[in-house]
């Protein structure tokens, strides 16, 4: 009887140890997976093509559509909406904003071009082809960058928050806070929606951040330091700002305020 009880005890104890091992292995596996999921990829770039860009364009917004660039520029008394020939930088069409408006981001939604202003809380809707003003709308924040996901307008205001607006009523219908493992990512500027992800210039840096639109989580960083060489800085230039994407040909364009060049780039992982 005693032998039987000892054998049962040893079997029970062995079972407990085995179960603990399974739990330990699972915990370690979860920890590894959690650590792996927190690794945010960093990308660098290769220049594919270089195009002329108007040195006098204080670029605030950039879009590519049907072979042309649409560009919004800023500064009081110098703000414009433009259609530009990519290959030459020639301004094919231009509309000037009233001098008291500081132009900001632009996007094209269906057959309309939408342009924000900085601190006026006023946006403009134009006919895409004629640049005729169709209407004005208001929004409650500063206007920095704008893009859309096919259903909603997405607006940045210089903070870590992105706002979603209904493209017909221009009412705010949601928002996300952009964060990485260090906390909120602030100074989000020009925006572009590419393959289900939001790309944003981070003001006063040479970085673009990739954002998951469902959660605001940072899912990648693009390092563009050195893109504009010393020879291009012989006259005044300002920060990197301006992202455009040619979906038909999978081309990615970037430029900056008062930059003499616009670059087509390919992204390369640094890992």
Cβ–Cβ contacts within 10 Å for residue 203, how many? 17
Whose CA is closest to 153, among 242, 89, 61?
61
Whose CA is closest to 217, among 166, 175, 177, 271?
177
Whose CA is closest to 192, among 210, 179, 218?
210
Backbone phi and psi for residue 213, each to the nearest 5 degrees, phi listed first: -70, -20
Helices (H), the chain: 2-37
**Domain ranges within the chain, ordered by starting residue:** 41-269
Q: So what's the pLDDT on residue 234? A: 79
Query: 52 has which bridge partners?
Result: 261
- Give the mean pLDDT of the chain: 89
Whose CA is closest to 40, among 192, 212, 193, 165?
212
Q: So what's the pLDDT on residue 231? A: 86
pLDDT category at 37 given cuts 50, 70, 90 is low
Chain segment 204-225, per-residue pLDDT in tens:
999 999 999 999 999 999 999 9
CATH topology assigned to domain 41-269: Neuraminidase (2.120.10)
Cα distance between the two ends of the chain: 64
Chain segment 55-113, per-residue pLDDT in tens:
999 999 999 999 999 999 999 999 999 999 999 999 999 999 999 999 999 999 999 99
- Confidence (pTM): 0.86
């Amino acid at each position: 009887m005693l032998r039987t009880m000892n054998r049962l005890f040893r079997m029970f104890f062995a079972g407990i140890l085995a179960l603990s091992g399974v739990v330990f292995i699972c915990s370690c596996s979860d920890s590894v997976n959690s650590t792996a999921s927190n690794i945010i990829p960093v990308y660098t770039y290769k220049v594919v093509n270089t195009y002329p860009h108007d040195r006098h364009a204080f670029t605030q917004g950039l879009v590519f559509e049907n072979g042309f660039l649409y560009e919004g520029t800023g500064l009081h008394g110098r703000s414009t909406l433009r259609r530009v020939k990519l290959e030459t930088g020639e301004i094919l069409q231009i509309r000037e904003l009233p001098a008291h408006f500081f132009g900001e981001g632009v996007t094209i939604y269906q057959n309309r071009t939408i342009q924000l202003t900085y601190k006026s809380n006023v946006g403009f809707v134009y006919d895409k082809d004629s640049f005729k003003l169709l209407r004005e709308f208001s929004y409650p924040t500063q206007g920095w960058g704008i893009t859309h996901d096919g259903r909603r307008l997405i607006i940045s205001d210089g903070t870590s928050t992105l706002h979603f607006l209904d493209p017909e009523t221009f009412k705010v219908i949601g928002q996300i806070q952009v964060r990485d493992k260090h906390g909120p990512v602030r100074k989000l500027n020009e925006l572009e929606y590419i393959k289900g992800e939001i790309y944003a210039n981070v003001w006063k840096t040479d970085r673009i951040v990739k954002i998951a639109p469902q959660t605001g989580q940072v899912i990648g960083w693009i390092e563009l330091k050195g893109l504009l060489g010393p020879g291009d800085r012989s006259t005044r230039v300002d920060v990197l700002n301006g992202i455009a994407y040619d979906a038909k040909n999978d081309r990615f364009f970037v430029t900056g305020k008062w930059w003499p060049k616009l670059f087509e780039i390919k992204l390369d992982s640094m890992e």
